[in-house]
Amino acid sequence: MTPPATHPATIADDVLRLLESVGVSYVFTCPGTTEVPLLIAAERRAGPQLVLTTHESAAVAMADGYARATGELGVVLLHANVGLCNGLAPLYAAQIAGTPLLVLNGIKATALHHRRAMTFTPESHRLAEPFCKRSLIPGSPGEALEDLSQAIAEARQPPSGPVYVGLPQDPGGRQSRGEWALSCGDTRSRM
């Protein structure tokens, strides 16, 4: 038996490690291509567990229900602008209930942000603003984990409520190179 291959840590690995360190057990998602780095990183970890749903509205509603039933932070991972839009109605319900909810949104690579690329809306974080205590997209890998930590604390802080964090999917993305990315690196062997 050959030992498992080691992989350099990516921002996606660090995001999952942070979620686990604050007690997150489940991330509810109906993933698309922008979430692939987190899906691959989740394969390498024992937790948090990804709960796959059939629609983004179900993912938000399940994260909201989980948080309400347990008193824990609910976490949802949405796909691009279409996933975010599909999740807005149950996000509004979470806002009204004051549910501590972390809304992660995989968005297209920063190089595409100046174009009208498929499944990308410039400043898509503004779609979530009416339903969240705070809505942000970290500007660099160095800011990502700090911003996530602050978002988690803010979602839990009374009055609790949803907080949105957009996570760009950029090519490259090894944390050691300092590039902004959730990228999992070379995925050719997986396709």
Residue 30 belongs to a domain with what CATH number?
Answer: 3.40.50.970
Whether 191 maps to a domain, the answer reads no
pLDDT digits (tens, 9 = 90+) for 92-140: 999 999 999 999 998 877 666 666 666 667 677 899 999 999 999 888 7
Q: Write out the H or E segment, with its range, that includes residue 70.
A: helix 56-70
Q: Give yes or no for a contact between 1 and 50, defined as CB atoms under 8 angstroms apart.
A: no
Share of the chain above pLDDT 70, in %: 78
For 91, other C-beta atoms within 10 Å of its C-beta total 29
Number of domains in the chain: 1
Domain hosting residue 147, numbered range = 11-184
Question: Cβ contacts of residue 63 below 8 Å, gap of 6+?
Answer: 26, 27, 28, 74, 75, 76, 94, 101
Distance CA 89, CA 86 (A): 7
Three-state SS sequence of 10-37:
EHHHHHHHHHHHCCCCEEEECCCHHHHH
Whether 118 maps to a domain, the answer reads yes
State phi, psi for 95 to the nearest 5 degrees: -65, -45
Q: Tell me the pTM.
A: 0.85
Whether 1 maps to a domain, the answer reads no
